[in-house]
């Protein structure tokens, strides 16, 4: 019997707010332990939570970006549990009336488009962080009370690779929307992975196994690559799977059981009496709607459609928003957007990267790398040449005024000095010789000086023509129009 995997993800992302969810403490990473705390986020008796309005807005915005509906009424509940990193002995979350419901994420997968339904995205608060030392343990509450969005998918994912692609797309959307920085290095995204298997062709779901608290996308993929075959093996050998929670041991590359359903917590959810239900006004919602941005996939598709770009180029401009915006500014005025893309990607991007290679080294895996939004923005703002200069440079190449190798030189100089391409061509004497009579004379010279290659060509060795062309280029000090030189040589040597 063949089995298939069924996967649903619960993804927690820290919202990009200045302060925490219920108090004025900073939402910041890396401060000394327990320096970003106050009586509210430490859960001291007698304190009252005050909702962070920007967190409410970002939650609604995330809902819109994920195609969710925003119910007219939502509320906060207390989820009771007792654990050292939880200052209040309960976590404020949204149980049966979340802020957003029933959406979907569309993303590229396996050469096509895949769609995963979103069950809900609700707002809750982060907890502190337990730290274990040699002889003692401690808790850092700086993170306690940071607004956290939990995005619950329907069990629509069917493989480790698909889960990875979904998470990548989700992260891109949230970064685009300014909902979260999704910085994996700073623990801003964490994920619970639910996975079961069932015989192919059946509809009923198998026992759900939850792998808790994954903090990298590649970890999620590796955990699933281990866990799915493990479950299938159990069933194939006549075993039974029971609903349970497991832990991923990254070093060992295995999952191990933590607890089974019988040991599951009863969270005793109840509405938080300190917090009013949320009933967003039309005006408030309009403010959120105004912040909706074009989604990454839509941007990529638009770049392919409107500018005729290949997928690879469009992908670059999807991942580097400022670079893509710059491309658009130039390409809108160009008869040849593909040429603009080539210059922006192959030359401009490389030049910009030179200045910050230390930041963008291969230190992180693909999925953990920082989004490239801000870094390029600064450099692009400092460009010395105007978009017109790039258009002019492309026109000089297309009219064959300069060769493509001379164009590289012009670009470098234009990047460094801001001078116009025409001025640089003039100053450096880079204009191509396209005058047929001049080139013909050089061709005759090359033919006369190289009887061997000439004989080779006549004997059918087509490659000999390139050698002769190279000689013409040399004689012209690189300025002959190479295409024209090739044409004239071929004509002269073909009987």
Question: Residue 122: which H helix or E strand, with range?
Answer: strand 112-125
Q: Minimum Å distance from CB 8 to ligand ADP?
A: 2
Is the Cβ of residue 153 or residue 481 nearer to ligand ADP in the bound state? 153
Q: Minimum Å distance from CB 189 to ligand ADP?
A: 15
Give dist(CA 125, CA 103) in Å, integer: 22
Number of residues forming the site for Zn ion (CB under 5 A):
5
**Which of Zn ion, ligand ADP, none is residue 153 near (CB under 5 to 8 Å by kind)?**
ligand ADP
Residue 195 lies near ligand ADP (rule: CB under 6 A):
yes
Backbone dihedral angles phi then psi of residue 5, each to the nearest 5 degrees: -90, 145
Site for Zn ion in 9-38 (CB under 5 A): 23, 25, 38
Is the Cβ of residue 122 or residue 143 nearer to ligand ADP in the bound state? 122
User: Which is nearest to 432 in space by CA: 386, 398, 387, 400?
Assistant: 400
**Which of ligand ADP, Zn ion, none is residue 92 near (CB under 5 to 8 Å by kind)?**
none
Q: Computed over its alpha carbons, how large is the radius of gyration of the chain?
A: 31
Q: Minimum Å distance from CB 299 to ligand ADP?
A: 27
> Exposed e or buried b for every residue in 324-349, given b needs 16+ CB within 10 A?
bebbbebbeebebbebbbebbbebbb
Residue 11 lies near ligand ADP (rule: CB under 6 A):
no
| DSSP per residue, 302-360 | HHHHHH---HHHHHHHHH-HHHHHHHHHHHTT-S-HHHHHHIIIIIIHHHHHHTTTTTS
**Which of Zn ion, ligand ADP, none is residue 41 near (CB under 5 to 8 Å by kind)?**
Zn ion
Q: Which stretch binds ligand ADP (CB under 6 A): 201-209, 231-239, 268-276, 459-467?
A: 201-209
For residue 493 the two structure tokens come to: 């040597």
Angle among Cα 442, 444, 449 to the nearest 5 degrees reads 95
Residue 475 lies near Zn ion (rule: CB under 5 A):
no
Is the Cβ of residue 217 or residue 307 nearer to ligand ADP in the bound state? 217
**Which of Zn ion, ligand ADP, none is residue 38 near (CB under 5 to 8 Å by kind)?**
Zn ion
Give dist(CA 372, CA 370) in Å, integer: 6
Residue 194 lies near ligand ADP (rule: CB under 6 A):
yes
Q: Which stretch binds ligand ADP (CB under 6 A): 5-13, 29-37, 379-387, 472-480?
A: 5-13
**Which of ligand ADP, Zn ion, none is residue 23 near (CB under 5 to 8 Å by kind)?**
Zn ion
Is the Cβ of residue 153 or residue 347 nearer to ligand ADP in the bound state? 153
Residue 93 lies near ligand ADP (rule: CB under 6 A):
no
N-to-C CA span, the chain: 71
Among 21, 41, 160, 314, the residue binding Zn ion under the rule CB under 5 A is: 41
Q: Minimum Å distance from CB 366 to ligand ADP?
A: 24
Residue 407 lies near ligand ADP (rule: CB under 6 A):
no
Give dist(CA 329, CA 321) in Å, integer: 12
Q: Minimum Å distance from CB 264 to ligand ADP?
A: 9
Q: Is 482 exposed, middle or buried (0-12, 13-18, 19+ CB in 10 A)?
A: buried
Angle among Cα 176, 179, 182 to the nearest 5 degrees reads 80
Among 3, 9, 70, 214, the residue binding ligand ADP under the rule CB under 6 A is: 9
Give dist(CA 235, CA 239) in Å, integer: 5
Residue 196 lies near ligand ADP (rule: CB under 6 A):
yes
Give dist(CA 167, CA 219) in Å, integer: 12
| DSSP per residue, 197-229 | EEETT--S----EEEEEE--HHHHHHHHHHHHH
The site string for ligand ADP over 107-126 (x = CB under 6 A, - otherwise) reads: --------------------
Backbone dihedral angles phi then psi of residue 313, each to the nearest 5 degrees: -65, -45
Region of 268 on the Ramachandran plot (φ > 0 left; ψ -120 to 50 alpha; else beta): left
Q: Minimum Å distance from CB 286 to ligand ADP?
A: 31
Q: Minimum Å distance from CB 236 to ligand ADP?
A: 18
The site string for ligand ADP over 134-173 (x = CB under 6 A, - otherwise) reads: ------------------xxxx------------------
Residue with tokens 């012209």: 476
- Residues of this chain that bind ligand ADP (CB under 6 A): 6-10, 152-155, 194-196, 205-206, 208
By CB under 5 A, name the binding residues for Zn ion. 23, 25, 38, 40-41
């Amino acid at each position: 019997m063949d089995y298939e995997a069924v996967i649903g993800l619960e993804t927690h992302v820290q919202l990009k707010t200045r302060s925490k969810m219920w108090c004025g403490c900073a939402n910041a990473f890396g401060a000394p332990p327990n320096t970003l705390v106050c009586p509210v986020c430490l859960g001291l008796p007698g304190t009252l939570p005050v909702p962070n309005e920007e967190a409410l807005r970002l939650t609604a915005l995330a809902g819109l970006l994920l195609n969710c509906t925003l119910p007219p009424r939502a509320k906060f509940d207390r989820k009771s549990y007792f654990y050292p990193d939880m200052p209040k002995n309960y976590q404020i979350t949204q149980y049966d009336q979340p802020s957003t419901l029933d959406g979907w994420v569309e993303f590229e997968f396996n050469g096509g488009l895949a769609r995963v339904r979103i069950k809900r995205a609700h707002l809750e608060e982060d907890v502190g962080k337990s730290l274990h030392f040699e002889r003692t343990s401690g808790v850092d509450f700086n993170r306690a009370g940071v607004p956290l969005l939990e995005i619950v998918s329907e069990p629509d994912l069917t493989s480790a690779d698909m889960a990875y692609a979904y998470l990548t797309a989700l992260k891109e959307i949230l970064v685009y929307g300014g909902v979260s920085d999704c910085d994996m290095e700073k623990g801003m995204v964490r994920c619970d992975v639910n996975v079961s298997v069932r015989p192919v062709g059946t509809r009923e779901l198998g026992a759900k196994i939850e792998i808790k608290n994954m903090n990298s996308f590649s970890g999620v993929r590796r955990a699933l690559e281990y866990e799915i075959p493990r479950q299938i093996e159990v069933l194939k050998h006549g075993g039974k799977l029971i609903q349970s929670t497991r832990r991923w041991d990254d070093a060992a590359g295995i999952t191990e059981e933590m607890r089974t359903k019988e040991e599951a917590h009863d969270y005793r959810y109840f509405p938080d009496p300190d917090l009013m239900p949320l009933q967003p006004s039309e005006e408030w919602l309009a403010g959120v709607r105004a912040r909706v941005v074009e989604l990454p996939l839509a941007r990529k598709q638009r770049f392919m459609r409107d500018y005729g770009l290949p997928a690879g180029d469009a992908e670059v401009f999807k991942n580097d928003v400022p670079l893509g915006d710059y491309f658009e500014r130039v390409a809108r005025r160009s008869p040849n957007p593909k040429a603009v893309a080539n210059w922006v990607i192959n030359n401009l991007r490389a030049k910009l990267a030179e200045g910050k290679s230390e930041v963008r080294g291969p230190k992180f895996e693909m999925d953990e790398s920082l989004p490239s939004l801000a870094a390029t923005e600064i450099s692009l703002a400092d460009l010395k040449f105007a978009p017109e200069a790039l258009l002019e440079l492309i026109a000089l190449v297309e009219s064959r005024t300069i060769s493509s190798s001379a164009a590289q030189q012009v670009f470098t100089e234009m990047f460094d000095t801001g001078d116009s391409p025409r001025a640089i061509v003039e100053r450096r004497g880079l204009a191509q010789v396209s005058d047929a009579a001049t080139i013909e004379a050089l061709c005759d010279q090359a033919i006369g000086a190289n009887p061997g290659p000439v004989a080779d060509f006549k004997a059918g060795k087509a490659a000999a023509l390139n050698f002769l062309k190279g000689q013409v280029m040399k004689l012209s000090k690189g300025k002959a129009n190479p295409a024209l030189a090739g044409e004239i040589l071929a004509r002269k040597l073909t009987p």
